[in-house]
Amino acid sequence: TQLLEQSPQFLSIQEGENLTVYCNSSSVFSSLQWYRQEPGEGPVLLVTVVTGGEVKKLKRLTFQFGDARKDSSLHITAAQPGDTGLYLCAGEPGAGSYQLTFGKGTKLSVIP
Amino acid sequence: DVKVTQSSRYLVKRTGEKVFLECVQDMDHENMFWYRQDPGLGLRLIYFSYDVKMKEKGDIPEGYSVSREKKERFSLILESASTNQTSMYLCASSFDGVTNEKLFFGSGTQLSVL
């Protein structure tokens, strides 16, 4: 069973601060997705990274896939209260398996 | 936009009751999934389906069954609800099981079993 470890589990920061969330595994994934879940809602896909070393930017969010495709990070610049939510990473194992493996999530609170 | 609709936002049931959770998607997606989400445990896959009348067990299928009689509808059934099935249940769909699956989630059903 492939596992994804997310850290930190909880993060509370002031508006305007920067932060990084990590998603690590000992296994290789063919791709990695990041979702954000707001209270009372289902997760919504933010980005998919596919190539080792890939960096994708979505406004103030920067996503990176590790060279070995075993880890990923999400960096938020100048966090805003609207960034508050649960951030989930999900790995696609590949090799004929299409079931995503989810991390347990990072709960982010951005205080105005 | 893809819409995945779960029939109930909140449900309260008694131990031993049979419980049906319904999910409908409107984008002709091939794949549908049922997850449960618990604090500290993340999302865990219960069952999934790649086609009508087809089902596959996920990581935690015990105590659950599913039904997919029509492409757009995927039902989760708790044959005899127990207190340890109190959880947030999330339904999801995706276009096709090729690569880089993008899951579209419903808003969830918070089930409490008393």
Two tokens at B38?
A: 């618990």
Is B43–A42 a contact, with Cβ atoms under 8 angstroms apart?
Answer: no
DSSP codes joined into one string, B19-43: EEEEEEESS--SEEEEEEEETTTEE
Answer yes or no: are the C-beta atoms of A108 and A11 closer than 8 Å: yes
DSSP B52: T
Tens of pLDDT, residue by residue, chain A (112 residues)? 678 999 999 999 999 999 999 999 999 998 899 999 998 899 999 999 989 999 999 999 999 999 999 999 999 999 999 999 999 999 988 755 667 889 999 999 999 9
Contacts of B101 in chain A (CB under 8 A): 92, 98, 100
Q: How many helices (H) and strands (E) does chain A have?
A: 0, 11
List pLDDT tens digits, range B36-80: 999 888 899 999 998 898 999 999 999 999 999 999 999 999 999
For β-strands B73-78 and B19-25, DSSP reports them as antiparallel
Note the pLDDT of residue A93.
82
Contacts of A94 in chain B (CB under 8 A): 99
Contacts of B88 in chain A (CB under 8 A): none
Q: How many A×B Cβ pairs under 8 Å? A: 52
Instruction: Provide CB contacts within 8 A for B99, sequence distance 6+.
Output: A30, A31, A92, A94, A98
Note the pLDDT of residue A99.
79
Note the pLDDT of residue B57.
94
